[in-house]
Amino acid sequence: MTEARLEELMVRVVDGLADATERQELMAHLVDRPDLQVELDAHLALKATTDGWMERIGVDALSDARARDPVQRVERAVGLSLILGGISVLAGFWLIELLISAAPLWMKLGTSGVLAGLTILLISVIRGRLATHHADRYSEVIR
C-alpha cells in the first residue's frame, strides 16, 4: 500500500466517509503497523473532541439567540414582575394580618426581621446584577 493511499484511507475513516471495504483495507494494513493504529486512534479522538466543540458552539448560538429575542425578554420581565408583585402583595397582607392579630410579640418581630432581611438581600442582588451587567467586557463573546 502506498503512503498516499494510506493517508487517503486514514482521512476517510476519521471523517466517517470510508465504506466497509476501505475500512477493512485500512484495518488489514494496521495489523502490521501498530504505530499507525496509535496515530489513527489519536486522530479519531481529536475528531470526537472537535465534533463536541462544534455541537457545543451550535447549542450556545441557539441559547444566545433565544436570550436576545425580544419576545423572550418581555416574557421573562412580565413573569418576574408578576412573581415579585404577587410575593409583595402576599407578604404585605400577611404582615398586616400578623401585626393586627393577637400573635405574640416575638412572632411579630421575628417575621418582620425575616422579611426585612430577605428584602435587603433581594435588593442587594438586583443592584449588583444591574451594576455589573453593563461593565462586563466579555458579554458579547460567543461561548
Q: Residue 139: pLDDT above 70? A: no
Instruction: Give the H/E segment covering residue 140.
Output: none
> Whole-angstrom Cα distance, residue 52 to residue 36?
24
Segment 5-25, tens digit of pLDDT: 989 999 999 999 999 999 999
Helix, strand, coil % in the chain, rounded to nearest 5? 85, 0, 15
Helix (H, G, I), strand (E, B) or coil at 136: coil
Tell me the pLDDT tens digit for each residue of 61-94: 887 787 788 888 888 889 889 988 888 888 788 7
Average pLDDT on 112-124 reads: 86
Instruction: Locate the DSSP E strands across the chain.
Output: none
